[in-house]
């Protein structure tokens, strides 16, 4: 794989495709697990949800009793949408699409969140584990290359409950964990061998900005530790003969106006700690949303010059595997 000078256009309106009705080309590492091993992971996650510490906020509320913490979710997952998505990075979307499940709620509260009706207003509908398992299997039948969990950090236990059922019924495509990187090491340990592809967005290098913009004053240490753990589990990105992701880490970074994301420090961290083999997806899709209109410089799109500086940094740090999304 080489660095693409051609930009990847993200597609915010996923197309529905006719089901190709064929066996998946890429199967998942979790197929080596016994059902009992998956159930054990689920049981630990369920227990931890009774004094919830599924994510670094450690709210200690009893989620099983429908108490709600920072993420606003109680005893079930809320689903915003489930689709075949064609706008993710090429090895994730492939030709047939990525089977995306958009979970409502979030353990961050970004002032500029472009999905804030889903993440902060929690628009969505509850789904039982068996309903969610059936949806996963349906995505597989429709040809999805993977099951792509979008914003899953606060719903790991409902996901595992549905996943255990889906595997029993024949799920065999890889799981993608698509996250803000504000993840607990202990929760990631429960996903070791279950998640094949980690897709974290390293959002800030500066905790003061993370606190002001996302209410996460320990973001940098938490997110960087989480990314190192993700990399320990799955390593660098590997693709099959068709270029479809089989396993590994793809690191996203959204460049913010005014240098608020700390792009230089983010890329320096990746180069120093993971090395030049790291697959990076550099994104410039920022536009003002949610409360950003009142918070300059977040009230404007990114300048061309700001993104050029970010692209030059990729070159300077020799991070030449991945994509630029403009």
Residues making up the chain, counted from first to last: 326
CB of 53 to ligand SF4, least distance (A): 6
- What whole-number distance in Å separates Cα of residue 230 and Cα of residue 213? 25
Task: Report how far apart the first and last C-alpha atoms of the chain are (Å, whole number).
Answer: 19
- Smaller CB separation from ligand SF4, 61 or 132: 61
- Smaller CB separation from ligand SF4, 153 or 290: 153
For ligand SF4, the binding residues (CB under 6 A) are 52-55, 57-59, 61, 69-71, 107, 154
- Smaller CB separation from ligand SF4, 57 or 271: 57
CB 171 within 8 A of CB 136: yes
- Smaller CB separation from ligand SF4, 185 or 276: 185
Tokens of 288: 């003002």
CB of 57 to ligand SF4, least distance (A): 4
CB 66 within 8 A of CB 75: yes
Chain residue whose CB lies nearest ligand SF4: 69
- Smaller CB separation from ligand SF4, 132 or 302: 132
Residue written as token pair 């091993």 = 37
């Amino acid at each position: 794989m080489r660095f693409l000078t051609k930009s990847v256009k993200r597609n915010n309106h996923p197309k529905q495709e006719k089901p190709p009705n064929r066996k998946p080309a890429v199967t998942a590492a979790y197929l080596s697990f016994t059902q009992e091993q998956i159930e054990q992971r689920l049981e630990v996650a369920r227990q931890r949800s009774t004094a919830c510490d599924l994510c670094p906020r450690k709210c200690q509320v009893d989620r099983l009793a429908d108490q709600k913490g920072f993420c606003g979710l109680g005893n079930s997952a809320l689903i915003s949408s489930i689709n075949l998505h064609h706008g993710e990075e090429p090895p994730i979307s492939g030709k047939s699409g990525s089977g995306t499940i958009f979970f409502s709620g979030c353990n961050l509260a970004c002032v500029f969140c472009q999905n804030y009706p889903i993440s902060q207003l929690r628009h969505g509908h509850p789904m039982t584990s068996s309903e969610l398992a059936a949806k996963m299997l349906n995505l597989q039948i429709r040809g999805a290359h993977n099951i792509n969990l979008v914003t899953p950090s606060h719903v790991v236990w409902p996901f595992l409950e549905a996943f255990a059922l889906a595997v029993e019924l024949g799920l065999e495509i890889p799981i993608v964990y698509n996250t803000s990187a504000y993840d607990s090491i202990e929760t990631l340990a429960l996903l070791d061998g279950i998640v094949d592809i980690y897709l974290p967005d390293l959002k800030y290098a500066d905790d003061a900005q993370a606190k002001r913009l996302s209410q996460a004053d320990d973001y940098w240490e938490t997110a960087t530790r989480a990314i190192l753990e993700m990399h320990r589990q799955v390593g660098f990105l590997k693709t099959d003969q068709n270029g479809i992701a089989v396993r590994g880490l793809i690191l996203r970074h959204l460049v913010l106006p005014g240098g608020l994301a700390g792009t230089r420090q983010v890329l320096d961290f990746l180069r120093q700690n993971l090395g030049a083999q790291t697959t990076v997806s550099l994104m410039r899709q920022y536009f003002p949303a949610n409360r950003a209109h009142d918070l300059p410089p977040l009230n404007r799109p990114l300048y061309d010059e700001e993104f050029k500086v970010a692209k030059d940094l990729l070159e300077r740090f020799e991070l030449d595997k991945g994509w630029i999304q403009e």
